[in-house]
Structure 1
Amino acid sequence: MLILSSAYLWQLMRYNILQLLKNLRFHSHGKEITDVDILQWANSKVSNSGSQSCMNSFKDKSLSDRIFFRELLSSVQPRAVNWNLVTKGVTDQEKKMNATYIISIARKLGCSIFLLPEDITEVV
């Protein structure tokens, strides 16, 4: 049940973001924004900030340590991340701490949050 609700919430969040991006499509000369566009944007932001992290898809298992997401948030607002609070994301407890911290940063930056830390500790 938890896995189903997590998958549903992730899809709901993704749908909401895509709808928002579709409403902003005039910024991309009328072209509809896709998952590929989002991945390219996120990877570009992280790469331009000097990081080697990348995301291959929204189901990329390497995302489970949440480091890419912290680096993405940091690339958007460099002073947002306190790197002393960042863990390596090796253990389940560290992954949950990272997920909690990511949500906290995202909220401070004004992002819409649809998930709990428990929902995002596993890549579905």
Structure 2
Amino acid sequence: MSKQDKADRAAAVAEIEADRAVERALRAVVMRREGSSWGDIAERLGVSQIEAQELARVAYARLGEAEKEHYRIESEDRIDSIIRKAHLDLALCKSQGERTALYRTLLAAEAQRARLLGLNLRAEGEDHAD
């Protein structure tokens, strides 16, 4: 086998490995979006949990701004869904403890939405004059 053949073979093997890495990274993103834990993702992909997180991080970095916006919209939709369900459950609560737990859920969801949208909410006691 000539040097050129070896170089061509090595390049082909590297390209196949790169394609596999991209495929695994995209699978990690899809599974995460579907609600899988990092442990589940790692197990299904046959990698460590840290590698699964790194694969997803790399995939997100490559997806670009349009994909980030799409993901932001999906995340906001999930938050909205949780808020709607919590409000429905709130109407059916039979105890103050249940209501308190749902109020916490609602507040946490709203805080997450504010962070997602990049809203800078003023802390209590801050001066409101700009």
**TM-score category, normalised to shorter length:** under 0.3
1 or 2 for the larger relative contact order (CA 8 Å, sep ≥6)? 1
TM-score (norm 2): 0.23
Q: Which has the larger radius of gyration?
A: 2
